[in-house]
Amino acid sequence: MSLKHEIDKNRLPKHVAVIMDGNGRWAKKQGFKRVFGHKKGVDAVRQTIEAAVEIGIEALTLYAFSTENWNRPKYEIDTLMSLLVSSLKKEIGTFQKNNVKLQTIGNIEKLPKKAQRELDETKEKTKNNSKLTLTLALNYGAREEILNATQNISKKIVNNELKIEEIDEKIINSHLYTFNLPNVDFLIRTSGELRISNFLLWQIAYAELYFTEVLWPDFNKEEFYRAIINYQSRERRFGKTSEQIEKRN
C-alpha cells in the first residue's frame, strides 16, 4: 500500500524545496556517462511534481542549476540546457493536467536564448494554473540573490523611494527572487550530501531539513511521501518550549 495514506492533510508543509542531487553518481554506478543520470532525473522530477499535487502541497521549489554549476565541463552544461528545453516541451501536458504554474528564480538572462524562450512560453501557458506553484531554480545562488536584493534596496534609498529605517524583514523578502512564495517549511536533499550548496539561505532559516541517501534518479512518489511523513513527525518549536507547543494543541 502507498505511504500516501499515512499523510495528515491538515499538517502539510506549505513550501517544499528540493536539492536534486546524485545524478552523476547514479549513472556512474550503472556504467553510464554522467549525463544519462540527468536524463533519468527528469522522471524523478515528474513524479515529485505529481506527488506534491496529489497530496495538496502549494509550493514546490526545485534546485535545477546553481551559479556554481557553470564550472562543470561544457558538454555537461550543454546537455543540461538542452534537457531543460526538451523537458519543458514534453511536460507542458503534465503541467496543464495537474494545474501547475511554472515560475523561475535565479538569473535567467544568462541561460541560452533557446532555454529562455521555452521558459517564457511555459510560464505564459501555465500562468492561470493555481494548484501548485512550481519554481525552478536556474542559475540560482542564494548569495547572488541576496546581493541582487541589496543593490535594489540601495537604489531605492538613493532615489528617496525608501528610508533606511523602513528596511525590515518584509522589505528584504519582497526584494528576493522568492518574493511571492512563503518561507520554506521543508528542505529535502538527496544523495547523502549534508550541505546546502548556496540554496535559499534566507528562506530556510526555520525549515526542517531532510537528507536521504537515495540518488535523485531513484527518487519517486513514495520517497516524497516518506519524506513528508518524516516532516510530520517533527515538532516545530520556533524558539518556544515543547510545553508551550503542546498547550496550543
Cell numbers placing 214:
537515495
What is the Cα–Cα distance from 182 to 151, expressed in whole angstroms? Answer: 23
The residue range among 14-22, 32-40, 166-174, 208-216 that interacts with Mg ion, by the rule CB under 5 A, is 14-22
Cell numbers placing 41:
532525473
Is 69 a residue of the active site?
A: yes
The residue range among 22-30, 126-134, 220-228, 238-246 that interacts with ligand IPE, by the rule CB under 6 A, is 22-30
Max distance between CA atoms of the chain, in angstroms, equals 60
212 is a contact residue toward Mg ion (CB under 5 A) = no
Q: Which is closer to ligand IPE, CB of 7 or CB of 84?
A: 84
Considering only residues 60-99, where is the footprint of ligand IPE by CB under 6 A?
A: 63-66, 68-69, 80
DSSP 4-57: GGG--GGG--SEEEEE---HHHHHHHTT--HHHHHHHHHHHHHHHHHHHHHHT-
Residues 23, 69, 129, 160: which is the catalytic one? 69
Task: Single out the residue of 19, 21, 102, 215 in contact with Mg ion (rule: CB under 5 A).
Answer: 21
Per the CB < 8 A criterion, the answer to whether 57 and 12 are in contact is yes
Residues 10, 21, 173, 198: which is the catalytic one? 21
What is the Cα–Cα distance from 105 to 176, expressed in whole angstroms? Answer: 9
Question: Active-site residue numbers?
Answer: 21, 69
Site for ligand IPE, rule CB under 6 A: 19-25, 63-66, 68-69, 80, 191, 193, 195, 197, 216
Site for Mg ion, rule CB under 5 A: 21
